[in-house]
Structure 1
Amino acid sequence: MDRLAILALFIRIVDRGSFSAAAADCGVSRPVATAAIKALEQRLGARLLHRSTRHVRPTEEGAAYYRRCVAILADLEDADRGASGAVAGLLRADVIGRLARMILLPALPDFLARHPALTVHLGEGERFVDLVREGVDCVVRAGTLPDSDMIARPLGVMEEVTVASPEYLARHGTPASLEDLGGHQMIGFVSSRTGLPLPLEFTRGGEVIEVSLPARLLVGGVDTYVEAARRGFGLVQVPRYGFADDLANGSLIEVLPDFPPTPTPLSVLYPSNRQLSPRVRVFVDWLADVISPRFQGNAGERSSFGAKAE
């Protein structure tokens, strides 16, 4: 391996906390990775990594060397881009599935055509991932964000609606006020943090009101949450943009429009402890160009694609 490849390998080992995972990321075998780092430590005359059977972490010298390596490779990528006008490599992003399918994928061909040396790996998820450990460059998430060492770039806010199926409303009636919710049911979206169903949320006269209704069905996934609503299991709250077809064809009906949920802020997050590489920079800028015009407004306090902030 050449010196730049070894630097990239060392960075991935620190990021992943694992020789095996980093070797797989870099396309080399575990023995090759081990030998390369051993030779690096010998050349530098310093121990860079603490190794155990379960985890690998940098020494004090290794942490300082890691920061320099990250900066060096980012500067090199910037220099390459300045000379060629192109970004290259693999960009890993984790996004909300419906957002990816409805908004990002239709615009992605143009982005890839502008950056032919760039490969994009789109993961799909709602949870907050350890970006550095899992090798993800950035994530798009909905909701009020917990404190973290990540940088969050706002992309806009999503209007939320309360909906139910015609069959459900035929059985339980259509509520005209919050007081009419007695006797109604919700589909419980279970918080991954507390294991409890998240309440519905309404606004009235500038006040945010949380309502927890009985739930005969509890779910932990967005697609199941919405499909259960279509099948009449109860009330749910979802972003309006993702369910325009359901509302248009009548498979879901908006209820309590005078008491809407607060809108959901949408953000892209990336690590703050490293220099932003050109490939991540152009991708984040593209996300803002594609997403922000669709979701303008003032950020509210909801999250998780139709479920309250966890």
Structure 2
Amino acid sequence: MDQIQAMRVFARVVEAGSFTRAADSLDIPKGTVTKQIQALEARVRVKLLNRTTRRVTVTPDGAAYYERASRLLNDLDDLESSMTNAQANPSGRLRIDVGSSTASEILIPALDDFFARYPDIQLEIGVSDRIVDMITDNVDCVIRAGDVTDQSLVARRIGTLPFVSVASPAYLKRYGVPQHPNDLDKRHRVVGYFSGNTRRMYPDEYNKDGEHIEVDGHYSIAVNENNAHTHAVLAGLGVSQMVTFIAQPLLDRGALVQVLPDWTREPLPIYVVYPPNRHLSAKVRAFVDWTAELFARNPLLQRTAGTR
């Protein structure tokens, strides 16, 4: 048995959901797929797939084997591509993870350009505001704001996220305009934001002339995802701080109003991060370089270069 080929066949069956579709996509007979799976199960001495006349499902052992096998196959593809001219034409599946607003407002609208340059790369985009474990979740790279504390990861700084304090016109008509950050703890409401991993609340921060104030505020709603946060502010549920690339279009059309303009918040750095074992991957390098270029073109992201 060609073990690598059998692993590829198994992975394709899992992804396609049937022996027939897997055989068609690999351009091999269905009988060959069946024999490869049987031989692989005999080799590893566990049942990898449950097969009925209607569908194929993965056993718990099969799911674990698939995750590790797909990682190994991706690494093998990367190794082979690094030895060929694939550096000029990177290909293969690339798994990334990105925050919801960054995905919807910056990344996804620009992907037509990415695919025009790299038509053979297949992107799988996880969209969330939680911190993922890149190794456990088998993610090739992430785009995240804030300092990167894991020194085992490679982090390339691609920009900076400034903040602006905002509220909706309806909210200001009802509650008035705050004149000082302390007002938010007294007679105003805020839209809170908490960590999707730890559920810790993130306070709004205000700086002016050396004075630093953190405001938890009285919130009627707190969320852990950026798009929900934006809609809560638009709905007039409170004052909050938003990154400028989200807020500016809403300010321009009058959907939001800036408040406390003399008070600022320290901007957050934004990085594209990847494990060191993906450093030589042509497809990862292509995505990282393209993302850095994309952020550099956006004046609301105030790019600052640097690599750690």
TM-score, length basis structure 2: 0.73
Is 1:226 the counterpart of 2:230? The answer is yes
SS in 2 for 1:153: strand
1:192 aligns to what? 196
Shift of 1:38: 6.4
- 2:295–2:303 Cα contact (<8 Å) kept: no
* Aligned positions of 1:120-135 closer than 5 A: 120-135=123-138
* Aligned positions of 1:138-157 closer than 5 A: 138-147=141-150, 149-157=152-160
1:162–1:68 Cα change, 3 Å: closer
1:237 aligns to what? 241
* Aligned positions of 1:1-310 closer than 5 A: 2=2, 4-5=4-5, 24=14, 35-36=39-40, 39=43, 73-82=77-86, 85-147=88-150, 149-181=152-184, 182-294=186-298, 295-296=301-302
Q: For the residues of structure 1 that align with 2:211 and 2:5, how far apart are their CA atoms?
A: 56
Shift of 1:164: 0.7
1:54–1:198 Cα change, 3 Å: farther
Opposite residue 194 of structure 2, the aligned amino acid is V
Q: For the residues of structure 2 that align with 1:151 and 1:219, how far apart are their CA atoms?
A: 30
Q: Give CA-to-partner distance per residue, 1:144-177, whole Å, 9 cap, x none.
A: 3343632221111011111111121122221222
Shift of 1:6: 5.7
1:288–1:8 Cα change, 3 Å: farther
- 1:70–1:274 Cα contact (<8 Å) kept: no
Shift of 1:226: 1.4
Q: For the residues of structure 1 that align with 2:93 and 2:75, how far apart are their CA atoms?
A: 18
Q: Give CA-to-partner distance per residue, 1:80-115, whole Å, 9 cap, x none.
A: 335x83111111212223222332233322221222
Give the stretch that moved more between structures: 280-289 or 32-41: 32-41
Mind listing any 5+ residue stretches in structure 2 that lack a counterpart? 20-32, 46-59
Mind listing any 5+ residue stretches in structure 1 that lack a counterpart? 10-18, 42-51, 58-62, 300-310
Q: Give CA-to-partner distance per residue, 1:41-68, whole Å, 9 cap, x none.
A: 9xxxxxxxxxx979969xxxxx9xxx99
Shift of 1:288: 0.7
Shift of 1:178: 2.6
Identical columns (%): 34
TM-score, length basis structure 1: 0.73
SS in 2 for 1:215: strand
Q: For the residues of structure 2 that align with 1:55 and 1:106, how far apart are their CA atoms?
A: 33
- 1:80–1:86 Cα contact (<8 Å) kept: no
